[in-house]
Amino acid sequence: MPRTIRILPDSVVNQIAAGEVVERPASVVKELVENSLDAGARTIEIQLRSGGKRLIRVSDDGSGMSREDALLALDRHATSKIGSAEDLRGVPTFGFRGEALPSIASVSRFALETYANGEEVGTRIRARGGTITAVEEVSRTRGTTVAVENLFFNAPARGKFLKAAAAEARVVSEAISALALAQPSVGFSLTSDDRTLLDLPSSTDVVDRIGALWGEEVAEQLLAVEAREGSLGVRGVIQRPDATRPGFRRAYLFLRDRPFREPSLLQAADRGYRTTVPREHRPWLFLFLEADPATVDVNVHPSKAEVRFSDRHGIETLVEDAIRTALEGEDSAATLDHRPRAPRLQVRERDAGAHGGEESEEESQMALFLASRSPGEPASQADSNVQAREERQGSDRQSLDRPDGEVPPRLWQVHRSWILAEVRDGLLLIDQHAAHERVLFEEIMRSFQDGEEAGQRLLFPLTIRLTPAEFQVVEDLGGLLLRTGFEVEGFGGDTVIVHAVPTPHPYFDAERCFREMIEELAHGSELVRAAGNQHERVAMSFACKAAVKAGQILDPREIRELFERLFETELPYHDVHGRPTTVRLSRGELERKFGR
């Protein structure tokens, strides 16, 4: 029978490859800017016309290329980044597949200008639809400029799927923002139809770059995160719980300076925020991850936007625990300061012209450190997360001391609802109901783990009639209710008898708490829907209904007991609804308010 299988021409192969690499103008910009970063550029300029549909021009001051290398760069799978399959493990460069330039050239009118030190003259290459049409000499400074005109001119069906120019420009801006966060030491500028969209001067601090992108107010809402477990590490900044909002959020993940997407890691981060933010709130995240190169696969997709971890559970657990630990500290508390203290997060500058050579063990570690360390002090892999937590708690406890060193601080009840505490660095204002909620929630969760029963038997048991749905809840959750202190048994029909109740405070109304709690568990609420499991549902509901209420007068002994119990919890600054228990006002802000 006649032969039906044929080898496709290079022009068709390049267009097929372009379908994976070049989805829209943002894909082109991403690939070209990554090449500039790999070339050690210190400044990168991006210009767009019609959102990149008519023109994309990327200019850099990187190492540039010789004429021979520039011509080879337009061949498929020609790259300076790797030389063998072994080099794919832990690739330190953004690019390595050798597909981007030929793929882009195959669906556009393409021009490349480049000059490298040591060359007599620069090189200009022109191509149309993947075919080189001219190779010329050009006089220019060191670096490379790539111009891509009329994207998809020879694939009009793909061009029809592009959005309006403004929408495409926004996607380009998002792509540049991610790369700019990964490389704050590189200056970026982005213009679209002569309108400046981004103008980012170089910096050594990721938080400064975040402020330049989205405003200083955002930068001041951030909280430092750091944790390590073996070869896995995570550092970065996250949004303070009181600053989170529902809806859209910015969440960026990086591995060895490479932005990537991984929904399971974002879900792990959200679990770390559990019981500190309302369910619908979406905290901003900027996390830099580290893993042994042998345990990571970055060659998952031509877009290089995905990363595969051999120990995915381990990295998810580390992210969740790191965020949880950060939220335990005083810096996570809400603040009344006009200009809160922003964390510092610095990165090592990339070596100019790095093209995938072997790195030393020290260089292979994540080049990121928190500026709160002493100058020159490295991040020790031997640091225990538990030890770090204990040190932080000790620091927080010291900050609660009064200025003259007297322990404990002086406390006052304000408007029968708040507790005012004078501490070393200013004042704390504590919501007595929210604080007691946090205390009761954690105590109940511990009783679930330890199997303790905390009820006090009643001389005259309570007889309570319930709806069928509520009676079913009591039957289903009898064991957990007993751990909270309610000893309940059926009394026929939909009636129950309560033989024992908890005693969380002297003003506790056991019957009212029980009724409200069972009603909530039977019919649901935003609070219990935010719980991660049945234990949390019961503990949250009990804590909310049983906590001392606003408007309740507390005597000095009760005030101090609540204060001390709050700061013995793991998350003293956040209640179970995701609201703050405590608001800080620093001494510096007080002095500023009074003009000192």
pLDDT over 60 (residue 338): yes
Maximum CA extent, the chain: 100
What digits encode the pLDDT tens for the residues 203-254?
989 999 999 999 999 999 999 999 999 999 999 999 999 999 998 899 999 9
Q: Report the C-alpha gap between 457 and 45 in whole angstroms.
A: 75
Arithmetic mean of pLDDT, 19-37? 87
**Nearest-5° Cα angle at 437, 431 to 439:** 100
Where are the CATH 3.30.565.10 domain residues in the chain? 10-200
Query: Under CATH, which architecture does the 431-566 domain have?
Result: 2-Layer Sandwich (3.30)
Q: Report the C-alpha gap between 132 and 130 in whole angstroms.
A: 7
Lowest mean pLDDT among 202-206, 327-331, 360-364, 573-577: 360-364
Q: Report the C-alpha gap between 56 and 149 in whole angstroms.
A: 6
Residue 454 or 171, more confident: 171
Q: From the CB of residue 4, how many other CB atoms can be counted at a distance below 10 Å? A: 5
Where are the CATH 3.30.1370.100 domain residues in the chain? 431-566
Q: Report the C-alpha gap between 480 and 487 in whole angstroms.
A: 10
pLDDT over 90 (residue 524): no
User: SS3 for 149?
Assistant: strand
**Nearest-5° Cα angle at 581, 320 to 439:** 75
pLDDT at 299: 58
What digits encode the pLDDT tens for the residues 87-135?
445 555 565 455 788 889 989 999 999 999 989 999 999 999 988 999 9
Measure CA 345 to chain center: 14
Residue 539 or 11, more confident: 539
- Residue whose entry in the numeric block shows the structure tokens 């309302």: 278
Helices (H) and strands (E) in the chain, counts: 20, 25
pLDDT at 92: 55
In DSSP terms, 496 is beta-bridged to: 464, 490
In three-state form (DSSP H/G/I as H, E/B as E, the rest C), the secondary structure along 414-448 is ECCCEEEEEECCEEEEEEHHHHHHHHHHHHHHHHH
Q: DSSP assignment, residue 551?
A: T
What digits encode the pLDDT tens for the residues 242-292?
999 998 899 999 988 888 889 999 999 999 999 899 888 999 999 999 988
Lowest mean pLDDT among 14-28, 41-55, 459-473, 551-565: 14-28
pLDDT at 545: 95
User: SS3 for 593?
Assistant: helix
Task: List Cα–Cα distances, 184 to 7, 266, 356, in angstroms.
Answer: 45, 23, 21
Q: Which string of DSSP letters, residue by residue, matches 479-542?
A: HHHHHHT-EEEE-STTEEEEEEE--SSTT--HHHHHHHHHHHHHH--HHHHT-SSHHHHHHHHH
Burial 484-497 (b: 16+ CB within 10 A, else e): bbbbbeeeeebebe
User: Band of the pLDDT at 169, cuts 50, 70, 90?
Assistant: very high
In DSSP terms, 296 is beta-bridged to: 309
Helix axes 312-326, 263-272, angle to 10 degrees: 30
Q: Do 520 and 529 meet the contact criterion of CB atoms below 8 Å apart?
A: no
In three-state form (DSSP H/G/I as H, E/B as E, the rest C), the secondary structure along 101-114 is HHHHHCCCEEEEEE
Q: From the CB of residue 322, how many other CB atoms can be counted at a distance below 10 Å? A: 25
Q: Which helix (H) or strand (E) holds 312?
A: helix 312-326
E-state strands within 167-264: 187-192, 195-200, 222-229, 232-239, 251-255, 258-260
Q: Report the C-alpha gap between 352 and 199 in whole angstroms.
A: 22
pLDDT at 10: 63
Sign of CA dihedral 39, 45, 51, 57: negative
For the chain, percent of residues with pLDDT exceeding 70: 81
Arithmetic mean of pLDDT, 419-432? 92
Q: Do 238 and 209 meet the contact criterion of CB atoms below 8 Å apart?
A: no
**Nearest-5° Cα angle at 431, 430 to 432:** 100
pLDDT at 314: 94
User: SS3 for 547?
Assistant: coil
Q: Which string of DSSP letters, residue by residue, matches 359-404?
A: --HHHHS--EEETTSPTT----TT--HHHHHHHHHHHHHHHTS-TT
pLDDT at 383: 46
Q: Do 437 and 489 meet the contact criterion of CB atoms below 8 Å apart?
A: no
What digits encode the pLDDT tens for the residues 307-326?
888 899 999 999 999 999 99
Q: Do 576 and 543 meet the contact criterion of CB atoms below 8 Å apart?
A: yes
Q: Report the C-alpha gap between 497 and 491 in whole angstroms.
A: 6
Superfamily of domain covering 10-200: Histidine kinase-like ATPase, C-terminal domain (3.30.565.10)
pLDDT over 60 (residue 469): yes
pLDDT at 93: 59
Residue range 206-343+367-396 in CATH 3.30.230.10: yes
In DSSP terms, 421 is beta-bridged to: 411, 428
CA-closest candidate to residue 219, choices 247, 193, 238, 196 = 238
pLDDT over 50 (residue 381): no
Locate 542 and state its tokens.
């009990």
Helix axes 312-326, 385-399, angle to 10 degrees: 10
pLDDT at 310: 87
Q: Do 328 and 393 meet the contact criterion of CB atoms below 8 Å apart?
A: yes
pLDDT over 50 (residue 352): no
pLDDT over 60 (residue 557): yes
Locate 471 and state its tokens.
């009676």
Arithmetic mean of pLDDT, 472-498? 91
